[in-house]
Structure 1
Amino acid sequence: MSLVFHILDEIEAYQCARQINEIAKEFGFSQFDAGMFSIAVTEIVINSIRYAKDVKVSCRYTQNNKGLEVYIEDKGKGIKNIQHSLQDGNSSTKDSLGFGLGAAKRSVDEFLIEKSDASGTSIVLRKYIDEPRYEYSPISVKKEANQFNSDAYFIKHYDGDKSLFAIIDGSGDDLPAYKTVQSVKGLLLEEYRLPLEDIVRYINPPQSSKNSILIFER
């Protein structure tokens, strides 16, 4: 399944979002999840049509057929400050996007800005129907006498059928140990799609500190 919409105005943008909502429900999403997905599409497409031109929306199944993927591209001026634009309440009439990026990102499982420059912006939205569900209750509490907690955990579900779990035991309870652990979490968030052995080698090389990291995937 692959549908392409060429959006000329806001009416067509809302029509596109409604049609994607129906496609999501037919695919098997709950009414709530289909609504969240269409909200993300609406937020981005509306801003694209307001501040850019030649807006194109493509909707198709994800590569593993466990979800839907929407690819939105425009020929605007790009997003000058992506991180700033992802914060709620920020907008810019000078950029092709801006307002609604944060809401869109929270409404989907994967939000990727593939390109944003003077030639335009391309964004990919993915939502999966079979996200694995596990029972877990991770707790990490600092010692009463310590100012920092250098222990942490990381849980990432992705592609509808994969999960990565990590438990990070920092070496010490001071600020450097805390910063190291947070850095490891950041690396996991960026590189979670790598093979497990590559992740372990990447974040815990032989010359690294005494931090202990337990990682497993399912």
Structure 2
Amino acid sequence: MLSDFWKLMVEQGWALALLRGAAVTILIGMLGMLTGFLVAAPLAVLRWRKVLIISQLIDTYTVVIRGVPGLLVIYLLFFGSLDSVRAVAGAFGYQAAAENVFPLIVGVIAIAVISCAYSIEVMRGALQAVPYGLLEAARSLALPGKVTFFRITFPLALRLALGGINNVWQMTIKDTSLISVIGLQELMRTAAIAAGITRSSLLFYGIAAAMFFCMTIISQMAFSRAEHALNRGFGGR
């Protein structure tokens, strides 16, 4: 039994392939989450301030993205732009290179679009949860609006949003498994290929599940430490 496992994982190289797939999963998750959050932060502020028209457009975006399956978002982005990308890349003689890189780019964009919609709601809720008394105290000290926002409101909102951002990240790292449908060899697709070739579906899907679980546990520990650090002075443990 152990010898068969050794042959599959080491001699046939599936252990290294799974680790590479996990690295791709983490890379796409982090790039997508970071991109999504950088876009979500200013959009959340605009929605929180209820800027005319823009706030309604942002609200529509979050409702639509959160209301459709993530897989559908990936399909729309990939197949909706594939022909155009091929045509443009072919015109410059880079069609082969574009087709190799395109799934990665679409994967990151799709994850960013999905995580952005949820991050907007998390940040908006955190901004609304900042105690109004602190803002009144800032006004009583005649602090400029920009100073109040960047030194008081936004830092406190980030602290309050950390738990929600953790949830978005946990969802994001698992949503990366959906991009296997566009041919990108992340962890889930690598496990599926290995299961198909070796006929050991339970083994490789079980390993993939364990690796996803390890990613989420490590992420949870990191966010817990961050929350502990940010809660110092606020009565947090």
TM over 0.5: no
Larger radius of gyration: 2
Q: As a proportion of its length, which structure holds more strand?
A: 1
TM-score between both structures, scaled by the size of structure 1: 0.27
Higher RCO (C-alpha 8 Å, min separation 6):
2
Between Structure 1 and Structure 2, the one with more helix by share is: 2
Please, what TM-score do these two structures have when normalized by structure 2? 0.25
